[in-house]
Structure 1
Amino acid sequence: MERRIDFWRERQMFCGRCDHGWRVDLDWIDRWEQATETCPGCGMTCEHEDSPRVTLDSCDPALDGDRVAQFFWYHASTQAHWPTRDFDPSAVLTPEMRRRMGGEQRVSAWVASQRAKALHVGTYEAAVHNMLRRIRDQADQRSQFNLYQVRLKPSVVVREGWLVDPANFVGDVVLDEVCPPGVDVARYLNYHEDPGGLSLALGRNAIASVQRIAVPLPDTRDGGWVRDAVAALEGVSDTAAPATGKLALRMRPPSARAVLGRQLGASLADRLPVNLRNQFRSAAVFAEGEDPERWARRTSGLFDLIDDPTSVLAALDQQDPREV
């Protein structure tokens, strides 16, 4: 079952000091994070420890535990076969790396800790948001991402209630800490991707099947933006002007083509929800020497992940499910 996808939707806020709750749009949250908005109930700003935060919308259908397994869930990853059936994090370790980790006993302990981590799935919006955040924060701009549509086993046992985002500072959750014996899935309020939405922490055994596509989708349309962007980029030089003075000793100035490419990417970003704009600008950066048409089609495909999810969902529907 597919839920309504809406990157622009309003969010629910809750103040821990005065218990005031109210709805806001994303532009309000952006101003709030810059300390130019206050709680309507008590006037608190974002600098306080117990300041208002985004919370769950009481109308979120995934709050009904009996319906959790009926929904599609999503995950974005650079792995082409997520989740792996026999996960072995030590397979990539060289003998030198094993020695530096302290020997086989330490490696075994590390493997056990990696296998104890929960998997994460969330809304379509959260998966796209996570991909853009990784591109910006983890230098994954040139990595091939995959979008997974996840079906849970109908028999999964869902933990009662929901948790505030339980991840540590690197985003990890220990499965046994959120899913005690007899529980397969824990719901949690996601603060980082699709803020205010419900995500799930779960083990591999809770997943029935996945469908995968590489994203962004190949843009084969003769779209107006792609056509105009390519024409504009090919009309300017891709050779950087020679640097002079002290600048020549430190850096090479960007070419006119690279500058224009970044401006074109930024113009698309400005059409997106405010909480995705910086991430999109990073993902759409035009690199020196990049092929204009390849860049324009990729950037347009990234934009369509947010602006036109229907084409993405249609592509997922055409994939054969892979049992996990």
Structure 2
Amino acid sequence: MTTEPDLIDRPVSFAYNYRMRCGCGGVEDLSAVDYEAEINDAHIPCSRCGGSIHFGRGVAALRDLNDPALENEQLSRLAWYHTSTSPDWPSLTNEEQQRERLRDFRLVTDEQIARLSDLALHVGTYEAAIENVLRRMKYQNDRDSRFFLYRVALNLDPTQVETDYRDENEQRAARLTNAELRDEGLHAVRYLNVYESPGSLSLAVTAGAIAAVQMVDLDGHGLVPDHDAELTERLGSFQRDLDADRQRPLPPPREPILALEQLQRRAAPRRGRAADSGRSTGPEFYRLWESIDSVLAERYLVGVNAIVAREFRDAVRPQRRDDDGAVRAYADFYATRAFALTHPSALIADLASRPAAALRARPAEIDR
């Protein structure tokens, strides 16, 4: 262990808007509300050329032109963040164990295994790290995984950092290996992140560039406020409605094939999700859960921009069930995961007070 690193934390907010780049080189501001609504069939005018920008991740532009991370000399003074399902990132199993794990995937060649085992590590802004959790929950079957947030101190020689930044849409950045960085005489490459907190800057770094980390369990940090009395009562009412819907007899299927599918669903093992609950979920089930989501969003997603709020809802939606206590369990999960979005200062302060673990060069993590 070592003393807590003296790092600079940049301001954190999930109420940010976006900037989109036109083919002519012009850049236009875009509100998160308009982005989520996909106004004008997802088009905004370009004030520079008079044309139209079809906005989206593919044309996301740097949001903060004064980001101190643009300066090589500042990189080791800033706090960087990473989220992982590993409680001791970036220390993982030895290289041979990693290779065995990768061999479990079909169509993975020895060359691919060697490359995946040598991927550079990735750190970014606090917002990008938290949004990475949502992406993994939604797309990588990590909806039930436990996540850990890391505050990362770097030790970088400014002369060994690539100047400027790469655009993740157009240049290789997110899948760089340690070997490729070393071959270019680099220990870090900046890149425009377009998947988590689009328009922010992230870094691909060699394992040896990480000086120390502090870690907090995102599900067990103990900082989540309890549901107030009014919300608790509303949740209880929703649970009673859900119980009533569960007891309501299912209408007979109109087609024999539907009857067979219904029997198969009833015979399937329960895994706690709505789709496996032993009965068909009708319109009332989804209406109830949309109402529950609306109430929880009003309480726990205040100040979160429309795009991030949508990603959050999509990430937690598979937690919906129809069993006893499902509403309260969902609300607890919702509040716990939303806390990092709405109380970043409290979480960062708690994280910054944790003991820092000094690191030596370690193998790269398989996930980015």
2:168 paired with 1:165: yes
Cα distance 1:221–1:277, how it changes in 2: closer, same or farther (>3 A)? closer
Give the paired residue count.
Answer: 317
1:145 to partner: Cα distance: 1.2
Task: State the partner residue of 2:192.
Answer: 189
**What is the one-letter code of the residue matched to 1:206?**
A
String of CA shifts for 1:227-286, please: whole Å, max 9, x gaps.
245323333343253332145544533386775344322444474311112321123322
SS at match of 1:303: helix
2:33 paired with 1:27: yes
Task: State the partner residue of 1:233.
Answer: 238
Task: State the partner residue of 1:120.
Answer: 122
SS at match of 1:230: helix
2:104 paired with 1:81: no
SS at match of 1:37: strand
1:212 to partner: Cα distance: 1.4
SS at match of 2:44: coil
**What is the one-letter code of the residue matched to 2:202?**
S
Residues 161-310 of structure 1: pairs in structure 2 closer than 5 A: 161-165=164-168, 172-178=175-181, 180-216=183-219, 217-218=221-222, 221-224=225-228, 227-238=232-243, 239=246, 241-244=248-251, 245-246=253-254, 248-250=259-261, 252-254=279-281, 260-269=288-297, 271=301, 272-285=304-317, 286-289=320-323, 291-310=326-345
TM-score by length of 2: 0.73
Q: Which runs of 5+ in 2 are unaligned?
A: 1-7, 263-278, 360-368
Residues 67-78 of structure 1: pairs in structure 2 closer than 5 A: 67-78=74-85
SS at match of 1:284: helix
Q: Could you tell me whether the CA contact under 8 Å between 2:119 and 2:175 is conserved in 1?
A: yes
Residues 135-174 of structure 1: pairs in structure 2 closer than 5 A: 135-153=137-155, 155=157, 157-165=160-168, 172-174=175-177
Q: Could you tell me whether the CA contact under 8 Å between 1:39 and 1:52 is conserved in 2?
A: no
Cα distance 1:218–1:34, how it changes in 2: closer, same or farther (>3 A)? farther
Cα distance 1:227–1:318, how it changes in 2: closer, same or farther (>3 A)? farther
C-alpha distance in 1, partners of 2:154/2:71? 15
**What is the one-letter code of the residue matched to 2:207?**
R
1:185 to partner: Cα distance: 0.9
Percent identity of equivalent pairs: 26
SS at match of 2:152: strand
1:179 to partner: Cα distance: 5.6
Superposition CA RMSD, Å: 3.4
Residues 25-104 of structure 1: pairs in structure 2 closer than 5 A: 25-30=31-36, 31=38, 34-47=41-54, 52-84=59-91, 87-88=94-95, 90-91=97-98, 93=100, 97=104
1:129 to partner: Cα distance: 0.9
SS at match of 1:236: helix
SS at match of 2:191: strand
**What is the one-letter code of the residue matched to 2:249?**
P
**What is the one-letter code of the residue matched to 1:16?**
G
TM-score by length of 1: 0.82
Q: Which runs of 5+ in 1 are unaligned?
A: none
1:97 to partner: Cα distance: 4.6
1:62 to partner: Cα distance: 0.7
Task: State the partner residue of 2:352.
Answer: 317
C-alpha distance in 2, partners of 1:266/1:177? 47
**What is the one-letter code of the residue matched to 1:129?**
E
SS at match of 2:33: helix
Q: Could you tell me whether the CA contact under 8 Å between 2:43 and 2:54 is conserved in 1?
A: no
Cα distance 1:24–1:35, how it changes in 2: closer, same or farther (>3 A)? closer
1:29 to partner: Cα distance: 3.3
1:79 to partner: Cα distance: 1.5
